[in-house]
Structure 1
Amino acid sequence: MSKGKSKIKTHKGTKKRFRLSAKGKAMHRPSGTSHLAQGLSKKRRRNLRGTTAVDTCMEPTIHAALNGYSN
């Protein structure tokens, strides 16, 4: 076993689902967009496009899991 310092690994599931904006906000794709979207109104489908910012209380957790990594 090595006695050196161990690195903190990036959480791969978080890496696939979130990315950091230029100002450091955690961005994600809203849920409900993958399939069965025909049941939603057109307005709801339109508003689910793109990415949205994560709530500020979750940002420290996501930053720690990403360990500085962003796509």
Structure 2
Amino acid sequence: MGIGRKGKLKTNKGAAKRLRMTKSGLFKKRNAGRQHILGKKTRKRKRQLRKDGYLSLIDAKRIRRLLPYGTH
């Protein structure tokens, strides 16, 4: 980098793979707990885990630093 130039911000790839930003600025995520050991979980619980979850606004504020250019 030369004099008078700012560096580019790096995207956190782990966060980029797990989260998607909505138009309203919230982050959408997949719920944990759906991979294995499903026999002991109720049908209702497994059905609810299928739906995507959203991060809270407080968490979203922190995640924006990890994803400076957003995600598609």
User: Same-fold call, TM > 0.5?
Assistant: yes
The runs of at least 4 consecutive aligned structure 1 residues that moved more than 6 Å come to: none
Deviation at 1:56, TM superposition (A): 1.6
In 1, distance between residues paired with 2:2 and 2:36?
48
SS at match of 1:69: coil
The answer for unaligned runs of 5 or more in structure 1 is none
CA RMSD of aligned residues (A): 1.4
Equivalent residue, structure 1, for 2:32: 31
Aligned residues with identical type, % of pairs: 30
* Equivalenced residues, count: 71
Deviation at 1:59, TM superposition (A): 0.8
Deviation at 1:12, TM superposition (A): 0.2
Equivalent residue, structure 1, for 2:66: 65
TM-score (norm 2): 0.85
Deviation at 1:48, TM superposition (A): 0.5
In 1, distance between residues paired with 2:13 and 2:58?
21
Q: Map of 1:1-71 to 2, 5 A cutoff?
A: 2-3=2-3, 4-71=5-72
Letter in 2 for 1:50: K
In 1, distance between residues paired with 2:41 and 2:2?
55
Letter in 2 for 1:26: F
